[in-house]
Chain A
Amino acid sequence: MAQRIEVFTLLEDGRAKTYQSRFEKLGIKASIRVVDVYTIEDDIADPANLNECISSLTNPVSQKSFVLDGSNTTPDGYVDTLGSFDHALEVGFLPGVTDNIGHTASELTALSLNEIRTVYASQMLLINGQLSERNISDLKDDLHNSLIQRADHKDAKAYQNDNGMGITIPKVQLSNSGVAADEVDLDISDDELAEIGKSGIENQDGSLRGPLGMSLLYMKAVQDYFKAEGRKPTDIEIETLAQTWSEHCKHTIFASPIDEIKNGLFKHYIKGATEEIRKAKGKDDICVSVFWDDSGVIAFDDDWLITDKMETHNSPSALDPFGGAITGIVGVNRDCIGTGLGAKPIINRYGFCLADPRSNIEYYRGKGKANPTLSSETVMRGVVAGVESGGNQSGIPSPQGFLYFDDRYIGKPLVFAGTVGLMPREVAGKPSHLKGAEKGDRILMIGGKVGRDGIHGATFSSVALDEGSPATAVQIGDPITQKKFSDAIIKEIRDLGLYKAMTDNGAGGLSSSVGEMAESSGGFHVELEKVPLKYPGMSPWEIWISESQERMTLAVPPENVQTIMDMLAKRGVEAWDIGEFTDTGRAHITWHGDTIMDMDMDFLHDGLPETPLTTTFTRGGEPEPDLKEPDDYRETFLNMLSRLNICSKEFVACQYDHNVQGTAVLGPLQGQGRVYADASVSKPLLDNPRAVVLSQGLFPRYSDIDTHHMGQAALDMAVRSAVAAGGDINHLALMDNICWCSSDEPERLGQLKRAISGIYHLAKTYGTPFISGKDSMFNDFKGYDENDNPVKISVPPTLLISALGVIQNVDQAVSLDPKMPGDKVYLLGTTKDECGASEYYALRGALGNNVPETDNDLNMNLYRVMSEANKKHLITSTLPVSYGGIGIALAKKAIAGQLGLNISYDIGLRMDKTLFSESTGRVVVTIAPQDQMEFEKLFADHALLIGEVTDSDLLKINDIETNISDLEEAYKKPLRGY
C-alpha cells in the first residue's frame, strides 16, 4: 500500500504569490496555496520510521505534514490545516520521467531508515476562487506539459467525497516479453526500404519504432552490406547505423561535395580557414586541439588551456522547453568534462531565438486543431528556466548570452548552450588534450542508469518537427547527479592518470560514445545486459541508443577499474564495466551471450554513401522603401528601445548565477543603469591575472537579403564585442553554430554556401580561427494554422558566431558605461546608408535592400589598434554598435552611465538612417580628456569626435533631446514582468 505525505506551508509562500500573478495574466483572480506532495510506493509501517521520514521532509518552523493512505479516515488536524478552498489542482510526472525531487526524497529515506524507498514528488495547488471549465483548462495548460506531466483537478466537493486527491503512482509498467534483438528483413522493394528509413522498423504488433531519418540511398547501402555479409541485419544494427550516420552525428550536409567544392563546406571553409590561419600565425598559433574532440582547445597561458563548445538543443525544446534547455546546458557541460582528459567547466553560455512571447499565434501539429504547439510565452519561460536550473545547480556561472526574437521561431525555437572549460596543459605527466582508448581497456559507463528517455534524439533532430515527432525524445536533466561525477573526475580522479579516454553520452547514447572511442583502438565488444536499467523491459536496441542523461564513458586499463569504481562510490557515483575496447575491427555486442551486433567498424563509420549537393542562390530583399522621416524622433527612440531585440534582458541575467566560482569581472549587466551587455569578462584563476572574454554575434534577419552579409555581420560583431571589452585580436578564437532550414532545397543550400564562404574570408582576414562548431539543418515546422490550413514555417537561416579570447591582465577589461562628465565621445568606424533588414526598417514595417556590408580589411586595422589601446588603458568605456545603430548605442550608454551625452553627428545622410543604420565595424567609446591626444594619434582616421559626456539627465543628439529616465523605462519595460 502506498502513502501520500502532504506538506503544507503555513507561513507566506513566495511560490504561491508568483502563481497568483501568473494566473492573473490568464485573467483568473484566485488565491493559491502550494502543497508539496511525496508519494511513497511501499508504505512505511513502523510509526517511528514514518515520523522520521516525515520530519526529514518537513521544516517545522514553516510547515506541517500529514500522511494519507487512501482510506476513508483523515489524520487529526488535517481538515483544519486544509482549510477551505474551491479547487485542487495537482501536477506530477508521468511514468519514467526524471523526477529529481522524488529521487532526493528517496535518498532521504535511505539516510533516515537505512533502506531506500521509491518516492514520487508532485505539487498540489489549493485554489480559492470561482473558476469556469475554461479557466481550469487554461490553468492546466499553463501549469503542465502533457508530454511529461499529468494535471489532475478536483473541485472542493469531489475532493471531500473522495477523501482527498487520491494516490497516483507513476511507475513504469513494461512487459518483459520480446526483450531480444529482432532480425529485420531488408530483402524488400525500394519503396518499402524508403518507408522503413522514414518511419522506422515495425514492431510485431504493427506499431512503428520511430523515425530512423535514413534516406533510400542510405537504406540501400545497409541492404548491400548485409547482403554481402550473407545475413539479415538485427534491429540494433540498423538503429546503430541510423544514429551514427545521422545528420546530427556525421554532419553530412557539411561533409558532402557541394557544387565545385569537392571536399565539402566544413573541410574547405571552416577547417580550411583554421588551417590557413594557424600556418600564417606560426609560433603565435593559439590553437591546441580543434574540431575532433568534445570541445575546441586554445592556449590560456604557459600552464593552462581553455576550452569552448556551443551546442544546440532545438527540437527537444520545442516539445518540452524546460527539459530541452536543461538537458542542453548539462549536456554541453559534459562535453566540457569530456574534452581531452577532462576540463573543469568554468563558464556557461546561453542563447535563445524565440517568437514574441506576447503574441498569441496558434499552430497545430495535426489537422483539425489537434496537437497544438506550445505558446511562445510558455516556450520562453521554459527555456529560460531550464538553463537557470541546470546552470545554477551545477555551480557554473552563466554570464554570457542573448535572446533574439523573430516570429518565425514559433514552431522551432533555437536553444544554444555552451560551456567554457579550463585544464592544465599536463595531466599525470601527459598532454591533457590528447586521449585514446587502447586494445584491452575496459569500457566503463558512469553516472545514471538507462531508461527510454531520449530514444531517437539524434535521428529526430535531423528532421522537421511534425505530428509524428516522438515524445520519447524528451528528457529532463539531473544536474546534481552530474555534479557529483564531474567533481569526482575533474577534481580528484583525473590527475591520477587512471583512464586513457573519456567522452560524453549525448546524442545516440552508448552507440555514439563507444562507437567513437573505439575508432582509436579499432573495435569494441559490449555485453549489453551489463548496462543498468531504470526499469525492466527495455529492448537491446533501446538500451544501446537511449539518450538518458548524466552519463560518461571511460576507457580504463583493467588494473585501474576497481580503483576508479571505489573512488566514485565514495562520492555517491555509480559505475558499470560493460565491455572492452578491442582491435578486431568489429563493432560487437552480445546480449546474455548471444551476438546481436557484429559489424565492420569501417562500414559503421565510413559506410555512408556520399550525397553530392547542388545549390542555387537568389538575393532577397525589396527595393529600398520610401519612408517619411519621423516627425518626433523622441518617440522613435522610445519605440526602438522597446523592441524585443534591443530592450533589456535583465530578467534572465538576474536569474542566472553569474558570479559563482568568484571569477566574474564584467557581468551581464553593466553600469549603474544595468545595461545588458554583449560581452563578459571572467578571471578563471583567482591568483592569476589573466582573464577570458566571451561574446557572440548573430543577425538572422539579414538572411532575408543576403546570407553572405548575415554571416560576416555575425562574425564581425562577435570579434568586435570581444575586442571592445578589452580583448586582443591576436588571442581570439571562434565557434560557428549554424541553424538552417529546409536544407534539402538547393536555394537554402545556396544561402548556406554563401554564408560559410563569407565567414571563411572574414575569419582569415581577422586571423581568428574556428575551433569548434555545430549545425542543425532542418529547423522547420510543418503543421496547420488556426484555420486548419497547412503551413510550413522555417526559421530565418541563423548563423551564430561565438568568440573566446584571452586578456593578459584583468585590468584591461573595459565596461560599456561612460564614467565621468567631461569625457570625450568618439565613434570608431564608418556609418553608411545600411538600414536593410535593420531593426529600424522592421519598426517601420519594411525590409529594404541595403543590408550592412562588412569592410574586412578596414575593420581588421581598427581592431588591431583597439587591441593596442586596451593594453594602454586608453579607453574608459566601449559599446559596439549593433541592433538599432548608433542612436541606440548612445541611448544604452547614457542609461548605463546614468550620465548625459551631448552629441553632434551629421554625415549628410538623413537623420533616421544616420541614427539607426546598422553598418558593421563601429564602436562608441569614451575617453578621459587627459588621454585625448594619445588616443587620437593612435586611432587617426578610425576615430571621429562626436561629443561629450555631461552631468545632465539628457541624451542630446543634434537637436533631439530625450530624458534618460524615459529612455531607461522604454528599455527596461518590455520584458520586465517575465
Chain B
Amino acid sequence: MSAKALVIAGYGLNCEEETAHAFEHVGLSAEIRHINDLAENPKELENTQVLCIPGGFSYGDDTGSGNAFAQKMRLTLGDHLKKFVEQDTLTIGICNGCQIVANLGLAPALDHKYGERMVAVTHNLTARYQCRWVDVAVQNTNSPWLQGIQTLHIPVAHGEGRFMMGEDTLKTLQDVKQIALRYVKPDGTSAKGEYPYNPNGSTDDIAGITDPSGRVLTLMPHPERGMFNWQRDDYARLKDKARRAGQALPERADGLALFENAATYFEIAKRKSA
C-alpha cells in the first residue's frame, strides 16, 4: 500500500489539481479533499501520511492572506492537526498554503509550540503581485522534503510572500537551522534582499521555513509549477540545446525533487522515472 497524500481544497485554494498530480507522479496516492469534508471527518488524518495545503487565494486574501482559512482549519480540525504533525508524517504548505501554515503556527513552532503564530507572511515590499521565476538555495536543514537538493529554479506567484518576524525570532530561527530555503541570485550567491532575486523583500531572503522536526515545510515558491522542463521559463532554450546535441530533453525538472523526497521518506519503491 502506498502512502496517502491529502491535498486540501476549497474557499479559493486553487493549486490542488497540479499538486495532487505531482504526488501521484512520484508514486504516492493523492486525494483532493475539500476542507468541509475533512472537517466532517477529521479522523481521516489518522490514515494520512502527507498533508498538503496547496497554493491559491483562500478567501481572496481578505483580512490577510491565509488568515481566514487558517481560522477555519483551527476551529474545525482543532487538535487533530496538532496530533497529525506530531506523528511521523509530512506536511507541506505552498504559497497560500505557506501563509496558512504560518498562521496556524505549525511552522516554525519554535520549542515545539505548535499552534502559536511566530512569523507573518505579508505584503510584498513592492505591494504588487509578483509572478516570476526565482532561484532558491536549500540551507543547512534536517527537512526530509529537501534532502539531496542544493538549488531549485521554480516560480513564485504571490502578493503577500514577505516573511517578517521579531528580531529574536529571526535569530532563533537562524540558530536552530529552521530556515530551509533562501532566495539567491542565478549564480548561487546571496540575493541580499535585492529585487527581483528576492521578489518580495522577505527578511533574510527567507523563502521557506520548517518546524523543529523538519517534517513540516512551508514555502512561498511553487515546486509543482517547476516539476517538468516544459513548464520552465527557459524551456525553449533547453529544448533547443538538447536538439542540437542530438539528445532528448528529459521531462523531469527541479521542483519534482521535493515530491520524490516525500515518496522516498515513505519508502515507495514504485517511483516513476520522468
Contact = CB atoms under 8 A, between A and B. Distances in A.
Interface stretch (B45-53, B82-90, B113-121, B262-270): B113-121
Nearest to B162: A14
B80 interface: no
A31 interface: no
Nearest to A928: B244
Contacts of B119: 61
23 contacts: A11-B164, A13-B122, A14-B123, A14-B124, A108-B63, A112-B75, A392-B159, A479-B60, A487-B9, A487-B10, A570-B37, A571-B36, A654-B132, A655-B131, A659-B155, A659-B222, A659-B231, A660-B55, A661-B17, A664-B225, A687-B21, A820-B240, A928-B240
Contacts of A662: 15, 18, 21, 224-225, 227, 231
Interface of A: 9, 11-15, 17-18, 36, 56-57, 59-63, 100-101, 103-105, 107-108, 111-112, 121, 388, 392-395, 478-480, 483-484, 487, 570-572, 653-667, 669-670, 672, 683, 686-687, 810-811, 813-815, 817, 819-820, 873, 876-877, 928, 930
A653 B155 CA distance: 14
What secondary structure prevails in chain B residues at the interface with A? mixed
Given A14-B201, A659-B155, A666-B236, A61 B18 contact: no
* Contact residues on B (Cβ < 8 Å of other chain), bracket: 35 or more
Given A62-B120, A395-B14, 13 more contacts: A18-B128, A56-B71, A59-B120, A61-B118, A101-B62, A483-B12, A484-B11, A487-B9, A654-B129, A662-B225, A665-B235, A813-B235, A820-B244
Contacts of A683: 230
B16 to A, nearest CB: 9
Interface string B13-53: 01101100100000000000010110000000000000000
A59 B118 CA distance: 9
Contact of A14 (B17, B58, B127, B157): B127
A200 B92 CA distance: 58
A56 to B, nearest CB: 5
A817 B236 CA distance: 9
A666 to B, nearest CB: 7
Contacts of A394: 14, 57
A104 B63 contact: yes
A100 B244 contact: no
B236 A59 contact: no
B237 A819 contact: yes
A479 B56 CA distance: 12
Nearest to B9: A487
B185 to A, nearest CB: 14
Contact of B127 (A17, A480, A659): A17
A13 B124 CA distance: 8
Interface in B206-242: 222, 224-225, 227-228, 230-231, 233-237, 239-241
B72 interface: yes
Contact of B123 (A15, A104, A873): A15
B148 interface: no
Contacts of B201: 14
A814 B236 CA distance: 7
Contacts of A661: 14-15, 17-18
A655 B231 contact: no
B236 A813 contact: yes
Contact of B59 (A104, A121, A687): A104
B176 interface: no
A873 B34 CA distance: 43
Contacts of A11: 120, 122, 164
B127 A18 contact: yes
B36 A392 contact: no
B143 interface: no
Contacts of B166: 61
**What are the 7 tightest A-B residue pairs by CB atom distance, in nearest-first order?**
A395-B14, A662-B18, A815-B236, A104-B62, A18-B127, A14-B123, A62-B120
Contact of B129 (A655, A670, A810): A655
B131 A656 contact: yes
A251 B217 CA distance: 55
Most A-side CB within 10 Å, residue of B21, B103, B225: B225
B224 to A, nearest CB: 6
A822 to B, nearest CB: 11
A434 to B, nearest CB: 26
Contacts of B240: 819-820, 876, 928
Contacts of B75: 111-112
A13 B123 contact: yes
B15 A660 contact: yes
Contacts of B225: 659-660, 662, 664
Nearest to A666: B236
Nearest to B239: A811
A383 B131 CA distance: 18
Nearest to B65: A59
Interface string B135-169: 00000000000000000000101010010111000
Contacts of A687: 21
Contacts of A928: 240, 244
B190 interface: no
A930 B166 CA distance: 59
B190 to A, nearest CB: 20
Contacts of B91: none
A478 B62 CA distance: 11
Contacts of A478: 60
Contacts of A572: 10-11, 36
A133 B58 CA distance: 41
Contacts of B131: 653-659
Given A11-B122, A819-B240, A108 B71 contact: yes
B128 A483 contact: no
